[in-house]
Structure 1
Amino acid sequence: MVSYLVPLRLANWVMNQVLVKSCYGFSRKLKSLGFRWGDLSSKPLHQPSPFPNITKCDLEGRGSQTLACDFHKVLLRTHSFFPYFMLVAFEGGSIFRAFLLLCSCPILWILNYEMKLRVMIFISFCGLRMKDMDNTSRAVLPKFYLENLNLEAYEVVASVGSRVFFTTMPRVMVEGFLKEYLNADAVIATELHTAGCYFTGFLSKSGLLVKHSALMDYFGDTKPDLGIGNASLHDQLFVSLCKEAYVVITEEGKVMPRNKYPKPLIFHDGRLAFLPTPSATLFMFTWLPLGFLMAIYRIFLGVFLCCKFTLALGIWSGLILNFNDKNQQRSESNKGVLYVCSHRTLMDPIFLSIMLGRRLTAVTYSLSKVSELIAPIRTMRLTRDRKQDGETMKRLLCEGDLVVFPEGTTCREPYLLRFSSLFAELADEIVPVAMNAHVTMFYGTTASGLKVLDPIFFFMNPWPRYDIQVLEKVPRELTCAGGRSSHEVANYIQRELADALGFECTNLKRRDKYMMLAGNEGVVQEKKGRRFC
């Protein structure tokens, strides 16, 4: 047995020390050496502004006023258009479209402001389905807009009663966010040409938006009460048409803290976990080939090797696992233990089984056939029929330990969805497990994409991390056997897990997530035919 492990350990050491660290270090060095191509949205000429800084704007008594505000370089701290077009290209299009956009950066660097936008729009939108863009604008872009909001500019926007936004970015990229999160009364932006249900990549006949002209067309002879722009000559002309004007002078505004978001960010989709600036995108593509090999290697460890060696080899490959078992009580019955977990990725029950060193059974609903086939632990599909699912889980508990996820779906942000109460009716020995996953490059979950790729994307992260905390067994007096209702038990465990993780409890359900991110109720249906739009 010892001689069998020596080649495996040697190969693992070579992969981690020589390949992973050298490739990862090389791509990090490229990023740190200034491979940035400057600001790819171009910097219009600046001059000393005759208008005061936005920090001097009085927020009192503006509830009845009308605001005209530039979106880019005013509300967004990131001054380049490039990351948002990259998100459209990668999430709405494909990895090949994203790579083409990255390769265009040297050309974008030498083009003027208008041509930069036209080229990025053409690469990102040519042949893109309107449905895919709608999913991206609804489920992907809002996260990155919220994380890059300028706090000082947002406070001024929030103080007024009527808000009209102007931007040279395509309307389909910003309108959903501005109306959903900032309660925009109108969004005036660049319009794109379409053919059927596809974008052609060209601008409409109106061309690229000219903000000061658009403001005069929209308001006519009436001037808006307040205007916000940046320090460029174009924006100074734009805000000069308002009764009162302020500009954002600083290069980087204050970061918007999560507790001041206009609406909580609970659900979002897409694979990228970072803002894809040119340097960060180059870093990703440099890592991607080796990252794919690392994902295959890590999946191979979990599927084909004994659990005793899986943990050590996985940690040597860069996987970070933090485990804390506070449950010292042993089972007092012949039935199995019911582990009730927060749900972060499809790998939750696998990591729990490995860390506990016990064979567990996990109940699932929308797991792909491939994931079921290669899962190293036993899985059982549920039907969403309460009576039938209850009987199934009772039978599984009689056969051994069972893992359930009462949320019914994964959530990426620090929130717990409403717990289904069915599990509380099945067992008296309930052990809550607080699970959390951390990624830096790719998300290992999806609502509208291919779920079979979830484990691959998760393990393609250079150092994916899992935190697992097994809490103490729920006291008998707090279970259904102690006289509590199933809803009381479910709510109690939800609060316990939220406290352990530092999360917030919500009443949102699986249906809410899928209606927002995928436009359906998350119900698996058989395909009845191919549709093109």
Structure 2
Amino acid sequence: MAEPFLRDYLGADTVAGTELAAWRGRATGMVDARRGVLVGERKAEAVREMVGDGEMPDIGLGGRRSDYAFMSLCKEAYLVPRDPVEAVPADKLPRPVIFHDGRLRLRSLAAPLAVAWFPVGFLLACVRIAVGALLPMPWLRRAFGALGVCVVLRGAAPAPAPMPPSTGGRGGVLFASNHRTLLDAVFLSVALGRPVVTITYSVSRLSELLSPIRTLTDDIVPVATECWMSMFHGTTARGCKAMDPFYFFMNPFPEYTVTFLDKLPAELTCGGSGGKSSHDVANHVQKLIASTLSYECTSLTRRDKYQHWWRNAF
């Protein structure tokens, strides 16, 4: 899992580390007994395997006494002090990278402003949530605008199509969107001016094995969503997910942009003349959304990425 990051973002040529044992393609949680934990002499052996016999790495960096074994194989060796060191500037990395998992998005000088705004933001979030829950859906866009929540609509939102009686009332349009916050479906409904049925996954470990979700329709409309928050970050990976919408609405002027793309042609759907698989359709939708948002697309769905990682890690 660390190797792709080290290669892509730090420009590493070769990576060696402690490996986890696997059984039938699944991690057991135990360390691979063939090499064990790469520490001390075992780390030195891994360095010898990487560079080959008769060659010495130019520089070796270590942080503890157990690193002396592999540092002795290098032409120059330096012990990294325990004192904090200055981080590498973002413009010096081969590719841009952002690590973030928290509620606040502030620099130190703006912290007093956040403390002063918190009581106001708390009341404002309560009002915005109450308005979203009580008012009819066609009124929400203007109501949110009056409360400082900007909803930007781009592209042509398709009108609801009548479902043929032969389907038993099933069918309709599938809006396939990227994930920004837990409010994605809410603002999609606001942009459409009508409520929509929402299907989500990643709510449990079982749902990861069942994705992508099978649908009843081949009318697929990709939707690219973006959101902007100035003070509080409305998403987290470790905290209480139920609080994410509340933190989003605590921002003074949050913004959500919903972009409707063209409906997929029949030859690019599962039931059309092309007869594409669900994974192919999902990959194509991901490419369209990524290009719209100027993201770098890997052409892999979440399941594809996991399978690719397992195959290459073990």
TM value normalised by structure 1: 0.38
Displacement after TM superposition at 1:325 (Å): 3.0
User: Which residue in the other structure is 1:139 paired with?
Assistant: none
Give ranges in structure 2 of 5+ residues lacking alignment.
1-56, 65-76, 165-170, 307-314
Give the 3-state SS of the residue equivalent to 2:199 in structure 1.
Answer: strand
Displacement after TM superposition at 1:347 (Å): 0.4
Residues 162 and 320 of structure 1: is their aligned pair in 2 closer, same or farther, counting only changes over 3 Å? farther
The answer to whether the Cα contact below 8 Å between 2:105 and 2:233 also exists between their aligned partners in 1 is: yes
User: Which residue in the other structure is 1:487 paired with?
Assistant: 279
User: Which residue in the other structure is 2:59 paired with?
Assistant: 162
User: Which residue in the other structure is 2:297 paired with?
Assistant: 505
User: Which residue in the other structure is 1:341 paired with?
Assistant: 177
Q: Which amino acid aligns with 1:355?
A: A
Q: CA–CA distance in 1 between the matches of 2:156 and 2:78?
A: 52
**If each structure's helix is expressed as a fraction of its own residues, which one has the higher value?**
1
Give the 3-state SS of the residue equivalent to 1:361 in structure 2.
Answer: coil
Displacement after TM superposition at 1:272 (Å): 1.5
Residues 336 and 255 of structure 1: is their aligned pair in 2 closer, same or farther, counting only changes over 3 Å? same
Q: Among 187, 190, 207, which residue is 1:384 paired with?
A: 207
Q: CA–CA distance in 2 between the matches of 1:312 and 1:359?
A: 16
Q: CA–CA distance in 1 between the matches of 2:135 and 2:157?
A: 27
The answer to whether the Cα contact below 8 Å between 2:279 and 2:301 also exists between their aligned partners in 1 is: no
User: Which residue in the other structure is 1:270 paired with?
Assistant: 102
User: Which residue in the other structure is 2:90 paired with?
Assistant: 256
Alignment of 1:92-111 (within 5 A): none
Displacement after TM superposition at 1:283 (Å): 1.1
User: Which residue in the other structure is 2:266 paired with?
Assistant: 476
Residues 449 and 332 of structure 1: is their aligned pair in 2 closer, same or farther, counting only changes over 3 Å? same
Give the 3-state SS of the residue equivalent to 1:435 in structure 2.
Answer: strand
The answer to whether the Cα contact below 8 Å between 2:153 and 2:259 also exists between their aligned partners in 1 is: yes
Q: Which amino acid aligns with 1:442?
A: F
Displacement after TM superposition at 1:337 (Å): 1.0
Displacement after TM superposition at 1:308 (Å): 3.1
The answer to whether the Cα contact below 8 Å between 1:364 and 1:382 also exists between their aligned partners in 2 is: no
Residues 493 and 185 of structure 1: is their aligned pair in 2 closer, same or farther, counting only changes over 3 Å? farther
Q: Which amino acid aligns with 2:295?
A: F
Q: Tell me, yes or no, if structure 1 residue 444 matches structure 2 residue 274.
A: no
Q: Tell me, yes or no, if structure 1 residue 430 matches structure 2 residue 264.
A: no
Alignment of 1:283-432 (within 5 A): 283-328=113-158, 331=161, 333-334=163-164, 335-365=171-201, 384=207, 421-423=212-214, 426-432=216-222
Give the 3-state SS of the residue equivalent to 1:362 in structure 2.
Answer: coil
The answer to whether the Cα contact below 8 Å between 1:164 and 1:188 also exists between their aligned partners in 2 is: no
Residues 450 and 319 of structure 1: is their aligned pair in 2 closer, same or farther, counting only changes over 3 Å? same
User: Which residue in the other structure is 1:247 paired with?
Assistant: none
Report the aligned-residue RMSD: 3.7
For residues 456-478 of structure 1, what are the alpha-carbon distances to aligned partners after superposition, in whole Å with 9 as ceiling and x for unaligned? 11111111111100111100011
For residues 28-80 of structure 1, what are the alpha-carbon distances to aligned partners after superposition, in whole Å with 9 as ceiling and x for unaligned? xxxxxxxxxxxxxxxxxxxxxxxxxxxxxxxxxxxxxxxxxxxxxxxxxxxxx
For residues 199-226 of structure 1, what are the alpha-carbon distances to aligned partners after superposition, in whole Å with 9 as ceiling and x for unaligned? xxxxxxxxxx9x9xxxxxxxxxxxxxxx
User: Which residue in the other structure is 2:43 paired with?
Assistant: none
Displacement after TM superposition at 1:499 (Å): 1.0
Q: Which amino acid aligns with 1:272?
A: L
The answer to whether the Cα contact below 8 Å between 2:154 and 2:260 also exists between their aligned partners in 1 is: yes
Q: Which amino acid aligns with 1:256?
A: A
Q: Among 238, 248, 254, which residue is 1:458 paired with?
A: 248
Q: Which amino acid aligns with 1:274?
A: L
Residues 316 and 329 of structure 1: is their aligned pair in 2 closer, same or farther, counting only changes over 3 Å? closer
Displacement after TM superposition at 1:421 (Å): 4.2
Residues 476 and 185 of structure 1: is their aligned pair in 2 closer, same or farther, counting only changes over 3 Å? farther
Displacement after TM superposition at 1:313 (Å): 2.0
Give ranges in structure 1 of 5+ residues lacking alignment.
1-159, 172-183, 191-208, 212-228, 230-253, 368-380, 390-419, 514-533
Residues 261 and 271 of structure 1: is their aligned pair in 2 closer, same or farther, counting only changes over 3 Å? farther
The answer to whether the Cα contact below 8 Å between 1:328 and 1:472 also exists between their aligned partners in 2 is: no
User: Which residue in the other structure is 1:29 paired with?
Assistant: none
Identity of aligned pairs, percent?
39
The answer to whether the Cα contact below 8 Å between 1:165 and 1:188 also exists between their aligned partners in 2 is: no
Q: CA–CA distance in 1 between the matches of 2:78 and 2:283?
A: 39
Q: CA–CA distance in 1 between the matches of 2:181 and 2:115?
A: 24
Q: Among 168, 179, 188, which residue is 2:81 paired with?
A: 188
The answer to whether the Cα contact below 8 Å between 1:363 and 1:382 also exists between their aligned partners in 2 is: no
Residues 163 and 469 of structure 1: is their aligned pair in 2 closer, same or farther, counting only changes over 3 Å? farther
Give the 3-state SS of the residue equivalent to 2:190 in structure 1.
Answer: helix
Give the 3-state SS of the residue equivalent to 2:122 in structure 1.
Answer: helix
Displacement after TM superposition at 1:311 (Å): 1.9
The answer to whether the Cα contact below 8 Å between 2:102 and 2:233 also exists between their aligned partners in 1 is: yes
Q: Which amino acid aligns with 2:106?
A: F
Q: CA–CA distance in 2 between the matches of 1:465 and 1:161?
A: 50
Displacement after TM superposition at 1:497 (Å): 0.5
Q: Which amino acid aligns with 2:115?
A: F
